[in-house]
Amino acid sequence: METFGRGCLYLIVGFIVLMLFVIMTQSTIHLPWFILIPIIVFVFWLARTKSKK
């Protein structure tokens, strides 16, 4: 459960940073699913490696 919580936290923080970037540059960002899914997998993999230490 710790890995899931940490992964969700990383996704939320990343989303907030991305939204701040979009607001500051007054632009739009389109992430297709074939880019978004590997990012989500990477975030949860990163959370899992942090939990093992």
Instruction: Show me where the domains of the chain are located.
Output: 2-52
Average pLDDT of the chain, as a whole number: 86
Q: Which pLDDT does position 50 carry in this prediction?
A: 76
pLDDT at 53 over 70: no
From CA 31, how far away is CA 49, in angstroms rounded?
25
Q: Which pLDDT does position 6 carry in this prediction?
A: 85
Mean pLDDT of 15-43: 89
User: What tens digit of pLDDT does each residue of 6-23 get?
Assistant: 888 889 998 999 899 999
Q: Which two tokens stand for residue 53?
A: 């230490």
Radius of gyration in angstroms for the set of CA atoms belonging to the chain, rounded to a whole number = 13
Predicted TM-score (pTM) of this structure? 0.73
pLDDT at 2 over 90: no
Q: What is the DSSP string of the chain?
A: -HHHHHHHHHHHHHHHHHHHHHHHHT------HHHHHHHHHHHHHHHHHHHH-
